[in-house]
Amino acid sequence: MRFSVAGVYALPLRNRFRGITVRHGVLMEGPSGWGEFCAFEDYSDAESAPWLAAAIESCSGSWPAPLRSSIPVNCTVPAVSAERAFEIVAASGCSTAKVKVADPGQSIVDDEARVAAVRSALGPSGAIRVDANAVWSVDEAVTAIRALDRAAGGLEYVEQPCRTLEELAAVRRRVDVRIAADESIRRAEDPMKVAVAGAADVAVLKATPLGGARRALEVAEACGLPCVVSSALESSVGLASQLALAAALPSLDFACGLGTISLFTSDVTEESSRPVDGYLPVPARAATPTLLDGVRADAATERRWLERLDRVAALLG
């Protein structure tokens, strides 16, 4: 494989997100530029292989031709207080917000308050989507979706309310809100063969865990649903692959979940992918990590990630 490792970053998060407070990943350079390997730490080596394939595509391959030069994005609201949720949305410049719900230790009352605060910040014309990360049962999902839909004054969609496709289909039959599939696609043994059409109205695609922008574009075609491209919590280097996918989709009916650099206190590059008026420009290549020295992981973390990189690279051959 044609790449060299520049180092491992440690980017602190402003709020706990997906159970972590610091995000780690490996930055690598190849003949085409830069790439980023940042598979979530609870992923097995086999599940992490597509993440490395995406990084190699970025630094040693090419992305599909873009059909647009900028991407509309949503702001992302972690499982924070209602007051903080209002502040995040009001400062974002976005007209769409994705709100995390069903966080451990919080109740539906907390989620309703957060969603209502987001509606207040967006105004009546803004779009609100919520993400439960597959923690509800079917009955829990139906009850929660109805409550959150009322609190929002109408939800755009609910992302992965339950774990399985069968559960998503059951929820979809009982509610009037669109259902979006995320984990059901990206964690499937073969994303190209996941029959999501009867279980969801929207497909959430992430180029990084699907093996790169080109592979994810094939998955988009195979699933046959309107697609939203969403971040996998990368730095601006890895986020470039996601923007390349969003730029190459034949149609883009929804704002994408790519305005996530604001979740970090810093970035690995001065060319940070931060939205302006709710849009992100599509880069020709990933940015150079000029700020890596200031955000390097400690020696033990770097060793652990480089050992992981070696194991996953061996799986790719």
- What pLDDT is attached to residue 55? 98
Q: Is the dihedral of CA 266, 271, 273, 277 positive or negative?
A: positive
Residue 267 in marked binding region: no
190 vs 308, higher pLDDT: 308
**Tens of pLDDT along 139-168?**
999 999 999 999 999 999 999 999 999 999
pLDDT at 205 over 70: yes
pLDDT at 194 over 90: no
Residues with catalytic annotation?
A: 100, 206
Residue 110 in marked binding region: no
pLDDT at 24 over 70: yes
pLDDT (mean) for 227-243: 97
pLDDT at 196 over 80: yes
Q: What percent of the chain has pLDDT over 70?
A: 100
Q: What is the mean pLDDT of the chain?
A: 95
Which domains does the chain carry? 4-63+290-316 (3.30.390.10), 70-281 (3.20.20.120)
Q: How confident is the model at residue 1 (pLDDT cuts 50, 70, 90)?
A: low
- What pLDDT is attached to residue 96? 97
pLDDT at 195 over 80: no
pLDDT at 222 over 80: yes
DSSP string computed for 97-124? EEEE---TT--HHHHHHHHHHHHHHH-T
Q: How confident is the model at residue 257 (pLDDT cuts 50, 70, 90)?
A: very high
Cα dihedral 207, 210, 211, 212 in deg (nearest 10): -20
- What pLDDT is attached to residue 191? 81
Quote the CA–CA distance of 295 and 199 in Å, as a whole number: 41
pTM for the whole structure: 0.93
Neighbouring C-alpha atoms within 13 Å toward the C-beta of 160: 22
DSSP string computed for the chain? ---EEEEEEEEEEEEEETTEEEEEEEEEEETTEEEEE---TTS-HHHHHHHHHHHHHHHHS-PPPPS-SEEEB-EEE-S--HHHHHHHHHHH--SEEEEE---TT--HHHHHHHHHHHHHHH-TT-EEEEE-TT---HHHHHHHHHHHHHHHTS-SEEE--SSSHHHHHHHHHH-SS-EEESHHHHTSS-GGG---TTT-SEEEE-HHHHTSHHHHHHHHHHH-S-EEEB--S--HHHHHHHHHHHHHSS---S-BB---GGGBS--S-SS----BTTEEEPPSSPPP-TTGGGGBPPHHHHHHHHHHHHHHHHHH-
Q: How confident is the model at residue 192 (pLDDT cuts 50, 70, 90)?
A: confident
pLDDT at 275 over 80: yes
**Tens of pLDDT along 49-103?**
999 999 999 999 999 999 999 999 999 999 999 999 999 999 999 999 999 999 9
- What pLDDT is attached to residue 197? 80
CB atoms near residue 205 (< 10 Å): 28
Burial (CB count <10 Å: 0-12, 13-18, 19+), residue 306: middle
Q: How confident is the model at residue 17 (pLDDT cuts 50, 70, 90)?
A: confident
Residue 218 in marked binding region: no
